[in-house]
C-alpha cells in the first residue's frame, strides 16, 4: 500500500506537552481546593481534550463551576506558558517530519487542542512550511475520540483513508483515527502507556521506529 499522507497528533506525539498540561491543570484546580495527582492525570486526563477533562473534573471533584470556565482558565494558563517557552519536541519528532516532507508525503496535524497551541510548535521549530493543514479542536463540532478532526483533515488534503496513516500517543486519539477509517500507529508515552492500543496498526517505542517502519512497509515514493 502506498501512503500519500501522514496525519500527526500534536500533544504527546510531536511535543512532550503532557507533563506541562498536568502542571497547568494542577494549577487551575488548586484554586478550587483540588490537589490533582500525576497518576490521576495519567489515568483520566492525558490526551483528552480540555472540555471533556473539565466535565469529568467537575463531576469527580465536586467543583462548583461551569466546564466553560475551567476550559477558559486552562487556556489562559497554556497561553501564558507558551508566551514564555514552547513545548519541547518528542525525540525524533523534527527528524520524522522533515524526512517525510522530503519524501514528498503530505503532512497534517490533527489535534484536540486549540489551533494556537499547534501553531506555536510549528512556528518555534520552523515547521510551518512542512504541514499543509492543522485541524484543531476548535475547528470541529466534536473533538477526539470522535473522527471529525481526521475527516476534516482528509477533506482538506483531498485524500482517502486508505491513503493515510495516523500517528497517535493515546487511546482517545487512536479511536478518533480508526473511527475515520485511518490505520493508526501508536507511540505510547509515560502518561499513556497503560491505554488500550489493541486497535492500532502497530505500537512503537518511539518516532524513530515509526519512521523506519513506514519507509520499509508503506512507501513507493522513494
Query: Which phi and psi (to 5°) does residue 134 adopt?
Result: -120, 120
> Could you tell me the three cell numbers for 54?
473539565
How many whole angstroms separate alpha carbon 164 and alpha carbon 148? 15
How many whole angstroms separate alpha carbon 39 and alpha carbon 55? 18
Closest by Cα among 197, 69, 52, 26 to 112: 52
Residue 7 pairs in a beta bridge with 108, 166
Assess contact for 86 and 125: CB atoms under 8 A. yes
Which residue is catalytic, options 9, 16, 148, 169?
Answer: 9
How many whole angstroms separate alpha carbon 187 and alpha carbon 201? 11
Assess contact for 151 and 164: CB atoms under 8 A. no
> Is 196 part of the annotated catalytic residue set?
no
Residue 8 neighbours by CB distance under 10 Å: 24
Return the beta strands (E) in 159-207 as ranges. 164-168, 184-186, 202-203
- Which residues are marked as active site? 9
Amino acid at each position: 500500500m502506498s501512503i500519500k499522507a501522514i496525519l500527526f497528533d500534536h500533544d504527546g506525539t510531536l511535543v512532550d506537552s503532557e507533563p506541562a498540561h498536568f502542571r497547568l491543570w494542577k494549577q487551575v484546580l488548586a484554586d478550587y481546593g483540588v490537589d490533582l495527582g500525576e497518576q490521576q492525570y495519567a489515568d483520566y486526563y492525558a490526551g483528552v481534550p480540555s472540555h471533556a477533562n473539565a466535565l469529568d473534573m467537575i463531576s469527580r471533584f465536586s467543583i462548583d463551576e461551569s466546564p466553560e470556565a475551567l476550559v477558559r482558565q486552562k487556556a489562559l494558563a497554556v497561553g501564558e506558558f507558551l508566551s514564555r517557552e514552547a513545548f519541547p519536541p518528542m525525540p525524533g519528532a523534527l527528524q520524522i517530519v522533515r524526512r517525510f516532507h522530503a519524501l514528498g508525503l503530505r503532512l497534517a496535524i490533527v489535534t484536540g487542542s486549540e489551533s494556537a497551541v499547534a501553531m506555536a510548535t510549528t512556528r518555534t521549530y520552523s515547521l510551518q512550511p512542512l504541514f499543509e493543514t492543522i485541524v484543531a479542536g476548535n475547528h470541529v463540532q466534536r473533538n477526539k475520540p470522535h473522527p471529525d478532526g481526521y475527516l476534516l483533515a482528509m477533506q482538506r488534503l483531498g485524500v482517502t483513508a486508505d491513503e493515510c496513516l495516523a500517528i497517535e500517543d493515546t487511546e482517545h486519539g487512536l479511536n478518533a483515527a480508526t473511527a475515520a477509517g485511518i490505520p493508526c500507529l501508536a507511540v505510547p508515552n509515560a502518561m499513556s502507556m497503560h491505554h488500550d492500543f489493541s486497535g492500532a496498526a502497530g505500537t512503537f517505542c518511539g518516532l524513530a521506529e515509526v519512521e523506519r517502519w513506514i519507509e520499509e512497509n508503506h512507501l513507493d515514493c522513494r
